Amino acid sequence: MMFYSWRSWAFSGKAFLAGMMALYIAMALDLSRPYWALSAVYIVSSPFSGATKSKAMYRLLGTLLGASAAVVFVPLFVNAPELLSLAVALWTGTLLFLSMLDRSARSYVFMLAGYTLPLIALPAVGAPETIFDTALARSEEIALGIICASVVNMVVFPVSLGADFGARINGWLVDAGSWAGEILRGEGASPRTPVKRQQLAADVASLDLLISQLSYDHGTRDVVRLARELRGRLLMLLPTFSSLADRLHAVRSGCDALPADLTALLDDVADWFGKAQQPDGQVKAQALLDKIAQQQKVDPLDGWDDLVFSGLLSRLKDVVVLWRDCLSLRDHIARGHSAPIEDIAMEAGSFAHASRHFDHALLGLKAAIVVAGILVASAIWIVSGWDQGAGFVAMVSVACSFFAAQDRPAPMIRFMLVWTTVSVLAAFVYLFGILPAMTNFEMLVFALAPFLLLLGLQMTNPQTAVIGMLVAVNLASVIAIQDRYTADMSGFVNGGIATVLGIGFAHVWIMIAHPFGAELAARRLMMAGWRDLAATAAGLRQEDATRLVSRVLDRLGQLVPRLAALDERELQNVDGFADVRLAINVVTLQQERHGLSPESAEKVSLVLLAVADHYRQQVKVSRSLAPEAALLSGIDAALQVLLATEGASARRAIDALVGLRRVFFPHSGATHLRSMPPSPAFSLAAE
């Protein structure tokens, strides 16, 4: 314990203070179950005041929603236990499904409302006339615990989310800057993106929950929109880095040595990226953009050498602009500036409105498994007539719901079972060994302090936070602290057994009904990406590049953590950023072909149809396929026509076609596309 920081001790002390306040007030007001107030404090408490406030508000809303449902359902179905069980199971499953569709802190409302219904409704089946009083008591006591936790967190050493958010962003920028340095100095110039760099997409996706809590923090509520814009740019940087690495690889492959002025430019940009922590790092951006503009060649492009070189400089400009935007946004957020986004010098447009990918079928299956588990547990209760069956079914719903979103929930439910058993044993020691000697509230506080303070310290460590919260909440609930000592050995043992058996049944049920894991989710993500690309290339899905790329990157953010857990070579070799680059190029071609000549537009349309056919075939056979030679011929034919065409649309279409060629055929030379002698300013050796 001596190794914990003062902030960890401060949080543990605040949680304990709020818990004792809630317990004392509940007892003073003669509330029926004061221990609910104590457990609510440890459920909502977080080291950050903003996170505590958001979780507190959402817990209150979820409790009120679940309690209201209990007041409605119990009187309706009290004489039909089968129908009540069905209503409880469907309610829990539906709310769980909604919670999995919301990746913000708000998802807690739906999940909590789902399993609050069985917690309140099922124990009241034997006395339905008490359901309103029970629902009201739970709402009051949880509201009391929430208020105490929120007030203490705001008044006593409040800790802002801003510092943690800033640290996460700076750490990400350092990692991204390291990748940029590898690319620009040549070590990372490659057509494929390393898996460790694809992990950056998952790191950005994980910022969603943190950003959703910023508005509840006094120090960060004014910068939420800037944070969303920053998140969007961080995501867009990744495929741009990948494309830059690919184009630089193509340029290096076509010559013995890079020109001195290009090497100097790349080194300058790499040095700038290495200074991400400096608050004035964006000052040099304009000078770098001017140098890039000096090396860019105007129409006409002379052939393949000019195409890849032009693409390299274009990507280099894009990463400089995006990086400058990221640094500017980061600095404004660090200062707490609430300036309108239009007042911040940015060139990359708006990325705040992200498009997300949801596997509705898989999420629905997960919810259905939980519904079925609750129904089976309810059947066991009804058939056996067990007087503690209500608690058994309630714990099945809690355990199944809590970890349903994970690929493999069984290990986490087993983890919950172990530590719930520990908390029941600890409650036994307290209830029958320590509390009988306590004669007043002060002595109760003194007796609870060592254990709860230790658990509060565990909650500050990400590796042990769930343990600390689980044991603290279960300890308070199982002891069932009242204003007078009323322990009953038989009732305690029966209740403890029901709790442990409920979680144990959930573990067995999930092992049987949920045998699939990360591999299924990863394959479905890949298939969804292929269908998306096929539909976009065929012109069946009309949208801008930002929304499509955002969705593809979101899918990649979900895919990367799963790839790390798989042994299958086919999935491990996935380059998610190649699909992102392809998506950008496909959307560009769809947008620009309408401004081309009829001959050029026809050639581009044939390429798009070939791309759509390729991905449809992959979906059909459920595996990656090598692109056919006809696709290469179609791309080259379109490039040959467009090389003789002038105009901005033709230039952008050419760049997109080169991008497609590099994704599908990265090792295929294209010197035959050279329509005139190489430019004297820059020449690549023949491939």
**CA 379 to centroid of chain Cα atoms:** 36
Which residues, 6 or more positions from 383, have their beta carbon under 8 angstroms from its beta carbon? Answer: none
* Nearest residue to 378 via CA among 1, 91, 665, 34: 91
Q: Which residues of 315-331 are buried (b: 16+ CB within 10 A; e: fewer)?
A: bbbbbbbbbbbbbbbbe
Higher pLDDT, 677 or 93: 93
Please tell me the predicted confidence (pLDDT) of residue 674: 55
* Nearest residue to 328 via CA among 351, 352, 347, 353: 347
Per-residue pLDDT tens over the stretch 143-157: 999 999 988 988 888
Sign of CA dihedral 202, 205, 209, 211: positive
CB-based contact 78:125 (threshold 8 Å): yes
Confidence class for position 354, pLDDT limits 50, 70, 90: low
Please tell me the predicted confidence (pLDDT) of residue 395: 94
Task: Kindly write down the DSSP assignment for every residue of 117-162, as one continuous string.
Answer: HHHHHGGGTT-GGGHHHHHHHHHHHHHHHHHHHHHHHHHSS---HH
Per-residue pLDDT tens over the stretch 500-523: 999 999 999 999 999 888 888 888
Reduced to 3 states (helix: H, G, I; strand: E, B; else coil), residue 594 is helix
Phi, psi (deg, nearest 5) at residue 276:
-65, -30
CB-based contact 597:645 (threshold 8 Å): yes
- Report the percent of the chain where pLDDT is more than 90: 31
Phi, psi (deg, nearest 5) at residue 460:
-85, -10
Query: Would the pLDDT of 229 be above 80?
Result: yes
Residue type, 646: E
Which residues, 6 or more positions from 162, have their beta carbon under 8 angstroms from its beta carbon? Answer: 214, 217, 219, 220, 223, 333, 334, 336
Please tell me the predicted confidence (pLDDT) of residue 682: 38
Query: Would the pLDDT of 608 be above 90?
Result: yes
Residue type, 469: M
Task: State the average pLDDT over residues 239-255.
Answer: 85
CB-based contact 369:475 (threshold 8 Å): no
Query: Would the pLDDT of 450 be above 80?
Result: yes
The token pair that represents 469 in the structure block: 């919260």
Higher pLDDT, 65 or 591: 65
Please tell me the predicted confidence (pLDDT) of residue 96: 95
Higher pLDDT, 103 or 220: 103
Which residues, 6 or more positions from 544, have their beta carbon under 8 angstroms from its beta carbon? Answer: 587
Higher pLDDT, 495 or 104: 495
Asked whether the bond before 300 is cis by omega within 30 degrees of 0, the reply is yes
Please give the C-alpha separations between residue 223 and each of 220, 263, 298, in angstroms, as whole numbers. Answer: 6, 39, 41
CATH code matching the domain that covers 162-343, chosen among 3.50.4, 1.20.120, 3.90.320, 1.10.10: 1.20.120
Higher pLDDT, 128 or 487: 128
Provide CATH 1.20.120 ranges for the chain: 162-343
Query: Alpha-carbon distance 29 to 31, whole Å?
Result: 6
Task: State the average pLDDT over residues 223-228.
Answer: 83
**CA 279 to centroid of chain Cα atoms:** 28
The token pair that represents 129 in the structure block: 């006339």
Query: Alpha-carbon distance 558 to 100, whole Å?
Result: 13
Which residues, 6 or more positions from 164, have their beta carbon under 8 angstroms from its beta carbon? Answer: 48, 210
Query: Would the pLDDT of 345 be above 70?
Result: no
CB-based contact 13:149 (threshold 8 Å): no
- Kindly report the average pLDDT of the chain as a whole number: 84
Confidence class for position 17, pLDDT limits 50, 70, 90: very high
Per-residue pLDDT tens over the stretch 574-599: 677 788 888 888 988 988 888 888 89
Burial class (CB in 10 A: 0-12, 13-18, 19+), 408: middle
Per-residue pLDDT tens over the stretch 643-669: 887 778 888 898 899 999 988 998 887
Query: Would the pLDDT of 572 be above 90?
Result: no
CB-based contact 596:542 (threshold 8 Å): no
**CA 163 to centroid of chain Cα atoms:** 20
- Report the percent of the chain where pLDDT is more than 70: 89
Confidence class for position 207, pLDDT limits 50, 70, 90: confident
Confidence class for position 622, pLDDT limits 50, 70, 90: confident
Query: Alpha-carbon distance 20 to 201, whole Å?
Result: 42
Query: Alpha-carbon distance 559 to 145, whole Å?
Result: 38
* Nearest residue to 119 via CA among 86, 159, 92, 154: 92
Please tell me the predicted confidence (pLDDT) of residue 404: 92
Please tell me the predicted confidence (pLDDT) of residue 210: 80
* Nearest residue to 524 via CA among 354, 366, 351: 366
Which range is least confidently modeled, 89-93, 234-238, 524-528, 553-557?
553-557
Task: Kindly write down the DSSP assignment for every residue of 243-307, as one continuous string.
Answer: HHHHHHHHHHHTSSS--HHHHHHHHHHHHHHTTTTSTTGGGGHHHHHHHHHHHPPPSPP-SHHHH
Query: Would the pLDDT of 480 be above 70?
Result: yes
The token pair that represents 406 in the structure block: 């994970």
Residue 229 CB neighbours (<10 A): 25
Higher pLDDT, 346 or 543: 543
Please tell me the predicted confidence (pLDDT) of residue 302: 67
Task: Kindly write down the DSSP assignment for every residue of 71-123, as one continuous string.
Answer: HHHHHHHTT-HHHHHHHHHHHHHHHHHHHHT--STTHHHHHHHHHHHHHHHGG
What totals of helices (H) and strands (E) does the chain contain, helices first? 26, 0
Place of tokens 């058993």: 421
Phi, psi (deg, nearest 5) at residue 417:
-60, -45
Per-residue pLDDT tens over the stretch 277-321: 665 555 678 888 888 888 876 556 667 777 888 888 988 999 998
CB-based contact 231:123 (threshold 8 Å): no
Per-residue pLDDT tens over the stretch 266-286: 998 988 888 766 655 556 788
CB-based contact 22:41 (threshold 8 Å): yes
Query: Would the pLDDT of 677 be above 50?
Result: no
Please tell me the predicted confidence (pLDDT) of residue 479: 85
Please tell me the predicted confidence (pLDDT) of residue 564: 63
Please tell me the predicted confidence (pLDDT) of residue 555: 84
Global pTM reads 0.84
Query: Alpha-carbon distance 180 to 238, whole Å?
Result: 10
CB-based contact 75:125 (threshold 8 Å): no
Please tell me the predicted confidence (pLDDT) of residue 206: 76
* Nearest residue to 245 via CA among 512, 565, 578: 578
Please tell me the predicted confidence (pLDDT) of residue 683: 38
Please tell me the predicted confidence (pLDDT) of residue 685: 35
CB-based contact 536:586 (threshold 8 Å): yes
Please tell me the predicted confidence (pLDDT) of residue 559: 81
The token pair that represents 278 in the structure block: 């400096």
Confidence class for position 335, pLDDT limits 50, 70, 90: confident
Higher pLDDT, 422 or 541: 422
Please tell me the predicted confidence (pLDDT) of residue 1: 43
Sign of CA dihedral 476, 482, 487, 488: negative
* Nearest residue to 190 via CA among 248, 237, 238, 236: 248
Please tell me the predicted confidence (pLDDT) of residue 686: 32
Per-residue pLDDT tens over the stretch 368-421: 999 999 999 999 999 998 888 999 999 999 999 999 999 899 999 999 999 999
Task: State the average pLDDT over residues 91-116.
Answer: 91
